[in-house]
Amino acid sequence: MYTRRHFIKKGGTALAGTATTFFFPMELLAQMRKPVGANDQIQVGVIGCKGMGFSDLSSMLKMNEITVVALCDVDESVLRMRTADLEKAGIKKPKWYKDYRNLLADKDIDVVIIGTPDHWHCLMLTDALQAGKDVYCEKPIANSIQESDVMLKYVNSSDRMVQIGQWQRSQPHFVDAITYVHSGALGNIRLAKAWAYQGWMKPVPILPDTEVPEGVDYKMWLGPAPERTFNANRFHFNFRWFWDYAGGLMTDWGVHLIDYALYGMKAGTPKSVMALGGKFAYPDDASETPDSLQTVFEYDDFSILWEHATGIDGGNYGRNHGIAFIGNNGTLVLDRQGWEVIPEQEFHGWDKERTDKMEAIPLKKRSGSGLDLHTANFIAAVKSRDSTILKAPIEVGYNAALVSHMGNVAYKTGDRIYWDAKNHLFKQEHANQFTKANYQNGWKLPML
């Protein structure tokens, strides 16, 4: 189905780094875009348009060769809103779909962006690959370890380009920080911390079930998730805090930050995991996932610690999120604003002045847009048909999702659980029930 436009190496260039946030002004986009010939266009369809799916599209549209031909969403009000946004950029109304399978059957579409809730990612990615589409899939790749395994196998058996939306892999200062970690200057690193303290998060109010809003295909929204009456709390953004659809902050922010802890430590799967926490901030609100959590991942000669909390910003090192690599000589602290190195001090006696073990590095601030660089990297792979250049291929998404889901499994069991890497399961049989997908309503887990 691929024509010569899929193999071009010329065309518009990505204006990476021009956006300071993910919500790029559509009017400015209209001024930036230049027309290209039909044979030079890469035609995109978006599944799930309200949040990051549309941010990913907006980023791609900074490349002149990108043309949006279809939007898919179960909520017609979202389709109307995003179409109006595109019109501000001088882009004519795309085709509308409510069933993603109809979008995948559209022969005009080359690339698919998946920006839906987590419980849909596995089905949509595997179906998109079978339809011959290249895919940019939002993180986390799946809502369970079992689904993650399926997706890894499908992508590795395909010749399609698949980029996972862990855009920090393309953010220059994140890359520079990990290069420094790998230099050995910090000395032996015995602990990496990753954390997300989210002061903006307020209680999810208890709301009554209601009729399905007009224009919403709620049956399609549920998909493989358990049948239940519509409740606004579980729809759109707040789906993140309900186990049927997502894994809370552990798989929301955690996938981004744990990914970099794993990257910095060159770490695979841990030997054991334990997690303590609960609904301590808002015990009586409507959410299910823990609002306070500490998780320890054990490796042979170091540990990785994840912690999150809602309603407060007082995280480690005065940052509400970040990753810290704690070495014998010093600690590198990294977040979305930049990175710095804080030296350890040599003890010379209680009455003696301490000296720094290494030189301090003041804050090296963020530059450029990681999201723009990430989507440009994906499109470069689409054009070159070279998956080796991808910054966040399926393996990156898989490793971060696997470890994050392991943390949630430990929380659900309340035990310290041990991973059997050879057999790819937990040694405690009761823990393995939490690794599996729970597909209902006639939907079946893809099998390869």
Question: Looking at residue 253, which CATH number applies to its domain?
Answer: 3.30.360.10
User: 38 and 186, same structural domain?
Assistant: no
User: 188 and 336, same structural domain?
Assistant: yes
- For residue 154, being part of any structural domain is answered with yes
User: 217 and 343, same structural domain?
Assistant: yes
- For residue 441, being part of any structural domain is answered with no
pLDDT tens-digit profile of 171-225? 999 999 999 999 999 999 999 999 999 999 999 999 999 999 999 999 999 999 9
247: exposed, middle or buried (Cβ count in 10 Å: 0-12, 13-18, 19+): buried
Q: Tell me the pLDDT band of 254, cut-offs 50, 70 and 90.
A: very high
Beta-bridged to residue 75, according to DSSP, are 216
- For residue 336, being part of any structural domain is answered with yes
Domain of residue 17, residue span: 4-167+371-397
- For residue 440, being part of any structural domain is answered with no
Query: E strand or H helix at 112, and its extent?
Result: strand 111-114
User: 85 and 73, same structural domain?
Assistant: yes
pTM > 0.85: yes
Cβ atoms of residues 376 and 61 within 8 Å: no
User: 199 and 157, same structural domain?
Assistant: no
**Is the predicted pLDDT of residue 326 greater than 60, yes or no?**
yes
The CA distance from 251 to 142, in Å, is: 9
Other C-beta atoms lying within 10 Å of the C-beta of residue 446: 19
Residues listed for the chain:
448
Cβ atoms of residues 427 and 198 within 8 Å: no
The CATH number that applies at residue 43 is 3.40.50.720
- For residue 443, being part of any structural domain is answered with no
Helix (H, G, I), strand (E, B) or coil at 110: coil
**Would you report the helix, strand and coil content of the chain in percent, each value rounded to 5?**
35, 20, 45
- Kindly give, in sequence order, each residue whose CB lies less than 8 Å from that of residue 448, ignoring residues fewer than 6 positions away: 150, 153, 154, 157
**Is the predicted pLDDT of residue 303 greater than 70, yes or no?**
yes
User: 414 and 389, same structural domain?
Assistant: no
How many domains are there within the chain? 2
Q: Tell me the pLDDT band of 419, cut-offs 50, 70 and 90.
A: very high
**Is the predicted pLDDT of residue 8 greater than 80, yes or no?**
no
- For residue 446, being part of any structural domain is answered with no
User: 143 and 15, same structural domain?
Assistant: yes
Angle at 60 between CA 55 and CA 64, to 5 degrees: 140
Pairing of β 355-356 and β 361-365: unpaired
User: 232 and 269, same structural domain?
Assistant: yes
User: 93 and 187, same structural domain?
Assistant: no
pLDDT tens-digit profile of 114-140? 999 999 999 999 999 999 999 999 999
- For residue 447, being part of any structural domain is answered with no
The CA distance from 72 to 36, in Å, is: 25
Q: Would you give the distance in Å from CA 444 to the centre of its chain?
A: 24
- For residue 297, being part of any structural domain is answered with yes
- What pLDDT score does 38 carry? 86
- What pLDDT score does 22 carry? 64
User: 235 and 105, same structural domain?
Assistant: no
Cis ω on the peptide bond leading into residue 140 (within 30° of 0)? yes
- What pLDDT score does 68 carry? 98
User: 194 and 72, same structural domain?
Assistant: no
**Is the predicted pLDDT of residue 80 greater than 90, yes or no?**
yes
**Is the predicted pLDDT of residue 9 greater than 80, yes or no?**
no
User: 157 and 35, same structural domain?
Assistant: yes
Encoding tokens for residue 103?
């979008």
187: exposed, middle or buried (Cβ count in 10 Å: 0-12, 13-18, 19+): middle
